[in-house]
Structures are given as structure tokens and as C-alpha cells.
């Protein structure tokens, strides 16, 4: 199971980099263009939420940790808020930033066949690759 781990300071400009890395991993794993757009949207939302919540939770910069694992027809992505040493933060009290219903709806809708599951200090998203055998046309 190939795994990519990206750790970055919680700055809005790093969210774009996280999206690019996630799409690159998904493309390498054989996901189609439609699913790449969904992954891009959900990762952008998850990372933006982590960036916003990390400083609020720690009072300091902290880190955001994104781990991507692809296994056969599945892509698992975990985005966690971490302290400055990289240890995941405990769940923080809900705030307007972390409980934004539009953000949650975008992640849930973009995750397709699976919905976001909460992880301590973050969110876990899973996609299953669509295949021609499942009745989905694939373009070469």
C-alpha cells in the first residue's frame, strides 16, 4: 500500500499544495478525471478546515498532517491538526470554522460513495475507484 505523508504549516497558501499532492496520488492510483475533481474539492475543504482550526486550538501555528494511502481500488486520506511536534491534537470544541455546514456538505458530496469520518483532531475521507466493470465508462 503506497503511502504519502505531507506535513505543512497551517497557512492558506499551503492548501493548494496539499490539493496538488492528493490529485497526483489519485491520478497515479488510476482514478478518473471526474473523481479527481471530487478529490480536489474535498481535500481543499478538509485542509482549509484544519488550517483554520489548528491555530484556534493551539494558540500557536502547529502543523497540518495529510496522509494518503492507495490500496487497489481505494484511496484513504486523513487530514489531522497537529501540535508543533507533529502529535495529533485532541478534538477541539466546535467553532464556526470547524462546524461550517457548507464545508461539511462539500466534503460529504465530493467523497462520493463514502462520507467523511471524523478522526481525533481531523477528518478521514475515502474514495473507491470507479471501474468499467462497475458500469462506469472510462476514457483512455
More confident residue, 6 or 132: 6
CA distance 11 to 86: 16
For the chain, the average pLDDT equals 76
More confident residue, 3 or 136: 3
The single residue listed with the C-alpha cell 486523513 is 78
What CATH number belongs to 3-134?
A: 3.30.565.10
Cβ-contact 3, 69 below 8 angstroms: yes
Asked if the model's pLDDT at residue 1 lies above 80, the reply is no
**Alpha-carbon distance values, 27 to 21, 33, 40, 73, 121 (Å):** 10, 8, 11, 12, 27
Confidence tier at 137 by pLDDT (50, 70, 90): very low
Global confidence as pTM: 0.75
- As a whole number, mean pLDDT of residues 103-129 equals 66
Amino acid at each position: 500500500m503506497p503511502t504519502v505523508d505531507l506535513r505543512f504549516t497551517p497557512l492558506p497558501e499551503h492548501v493548494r499544495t496539499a490539493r496538488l499532492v492528493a490529485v497526483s496520488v489519485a491520478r497515479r492510483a488510476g482514478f478518473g478525471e471526474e473523481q479527481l475533481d471530487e478529490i480536489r474539492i474535498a481535500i481543499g475543504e478538509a485542509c482549509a478546515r484544519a488550517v483554520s482550526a489548528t491555530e484556534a486550538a493551539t494558540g500557536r501555528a502547529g502543523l497540518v498532517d495529510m496522509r494518503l494511502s492507495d490500496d487497489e481500488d481505494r484511496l484513504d486520506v486523513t487530514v489531522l491538526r497537529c501540535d508543533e511536534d507533529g502529535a495529533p491534537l485532541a478534538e477541539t470544541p466546535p467553532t464556526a470554522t470547524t462546524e461550517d455546514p457548507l464545508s461539511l456538505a462539500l466534503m460529504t458530496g465530493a467523497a462520493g460513495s463514502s462520507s467523511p469520518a471524523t478522526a481525533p483532531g481531523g477528518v478521514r475521507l475515502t474514495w473507491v475507484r470507479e471501474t468499467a466493470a462497475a458500469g462506469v465508462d472510462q476514457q483512455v
